[in-house]
Structure 1
Amino acid sequence: MTATSSVGGADLRREADRVVNEVAQELRTLDEGAAWFCRLSPADRREVLRLVGGYAMQAHVTAADSRAGVARSGVRPTANPAVMICMDPPRSGFCGLPADEHVTAFRVLVAVFGVADTRRRRTCCKGACGHAWHHLSAAAGEP
Structure 2
Amino acid sequence: MRQALSEAQVKPTATPLVLLRAHGVAEALRRIQKLPPPEYPNAFRALLSLFSVADAHRRRTACRTGCTHDWHHLPPLR
Structure showing greater relative contact order (alpha-carbon pairs closer than 8 Å, 6 or more residues apart) = 2
Q: What is the percent sequence identity of the aligned residues?
A: 39
Amino acid at match of 1:120: R
Q: Of 78, 89, 94, which residue of structure 1 is paired with 2:13?
A: 78
User: How large is the Cα RMSD of the aligned pairs?
Assistant: 1.8
State the TM-score, normalized to the length of structure 1: 0.47
Structure 2 unmatched ranges of 5 or more: none
Q: Which residue of 2 aligns with 1:116?
A: 54
Deviation at 1:96, TM superposition (A): 1.9
After TM superposition, give the deviation of residue 141 of structure 1 in Å: 4.3
For residues 39 and 63 of structure 2, what CA distance do their matches in structure 1 show?
33
Q: How many residues align?
A: 75
TM-score by length of 2: 0.80
Runs of 5+ consecutive residues of structure 1 not aligned to the other structure: 1-65
Correspondence for 1:130: 68
SS across alignment from 2:29: coil
SS of the aligned residue for 1:87 comes to helix
